[in-house]
Amino acid sequence: MKLRFGVLLASVCVFSIAGLAQAVDKTNTGCGLGSIMFKEQNGLLSNVCAATFNGIFGNQTFGITSGTLECSKPASFVSNEKLNKFVRENMDNLAVDISKGSGEYLMTLAVLMDTPAEERDGLYAKPRPTSRASTRRIRSPTRTCSATSSGSSSPADPSQGRHPTGCA
C-alpha cells in the first residue's frame, strides 16, 4: 500500500521535474529565476516528495551509488542536472531566500549556475516578483499543480521522516 502510494508520488514528482527542466533552461537565457520558482510552485509538492521518499527509503537500503546527485551523467550535463535537482528539491527554502534576496539556498543556486561572485547581487535582486501582473501569472498554474497532486499527497508526515535507527 505504502509502496504504491510512493510510486504514485514518484511519478508526480517526475512530471514536475520534466516541467521544471524546461523552465530552468529559460532561466539560462535570461528570463529570471523567480518567475519559474513561483510559476512552478510545486516546490511544495517537492517537499511532499522529499518527505515521502524519506519515509520509503528510510525503511530500505540505499546504495552509495544511487544516492548521488548525478554520477552517471556525462560531465557536460552534470551542472545542469545538479541545478534542476537542487531547485526542485529545495523549492520552498529557495523561495524564502528569493523573497529576502539573500540566504544559503540562493547562494548555492548561484554556485550551481556558475555565477561569478561579483554578479551575484544582481542575480539575488532580479527574481523578486513585485508587480501585480506577475502575481496573477503565478496563481493559475499553482492551482493546476495542486489539483494534480490532490488525493495522492498528504502533507509531510513527521512520522515518515522518522529514522529507523537506535541512535536517530
Partner 1 sequence: MTIDMEGLPVDHTPVTLRSFQREVCLAVSRSVSPWILLLFLCLIASGPSLANDYVDTLIGRAEARELWNDPYWRTLVHYEKGLFGTRSLVDDPDFFASPRGKTDPRAELEATLRLLFQDPAPTDEGATGSAGDSLKVKSPICRFVARFEWLTEALDIDESRVPETRCEPFEDLYTAVGADAVSLIFPTSHMNSPASMYGHTLLTIGAASETSLLSHAINYSAVTNETFGPLYIAKGLLGLYPGYFSMLPYYAKLQEYSDVNDRDIWEYPLELGREEIRRLFLHLYELENINSNYYFFSQNCSYHLLYLLEAARPGLELTDRFGWWVIPLDTIREVQSAGLVGEPIYRPSKSTKVSFLAGLSSRTERHLARDIAKGGVSPSEEPMLTDDGLPKDTRIRVLDLAGEYLQYIYAKGEVEQDAYVPRFLGTLRARSALGASGEWRYSIPPPTAPERGHRSARIEAGTVFVRRGPGGHGPLDAFPIVAIRPAYHDLLDNGAGFKRGSQIVFAETGIRYDPRREKLRVEFFDAIDIVSLAPRDLYFHHTSWRIETGLVRRTDRSGGDPLVFHFGTGFGWAFEMPLLGLPYLMFDTESQFGGGLDPNYSLGAGGSAGVLGDFTSWWKFHLRGRAMLYRIGDEDDRLELEAGQSLITSTNTSLTVEVRRLRERDRSHTETWVSARIHY
Site residues for partner 1, 9-68, by CB under 8 A, read 38, 41, 44-45, 47-48, 50-51, 53-54, 57, 59-68
Give the shortest CB-46-to-partner 1 separation in angstroms. Answer: 10
166 binds partner 1 per the rule CB under 8 A: yes
For partner 1, the binding residue among 19, 70, 126, 137 (CB under 8 A) is 70
Could you give the CA distance from residue 37 to residue 96 in angstroms, rounded to a whole number? 10
Give the shortest CB-25-to-partner 1 separation in angstroms. Answer: 20
HEC per residue, 7-69: HHHHHHHHHHHHHHHHHHHHHHCCCCHHHHHHHCCCHHHHHHHHHHHHHHHHCCCCCCHHHCC
Residues 92-151 that bind partner 1 (CB under 8 A): 92-93, 95-96, 98-105, 107-108, 111-112, 124-125, 128-130, 135, 138-139, 142, 145-146, 149-150
Nearest of 103, 145, 151 to residue 127 by alpha carbon = 103
Q: Are 157 and 53 in contact (CB under 8 A)?
A: no
Residues 142-161 that bind partner 1 (CB under 8 A): 142, 145-146, 149-150, 153-158, 161
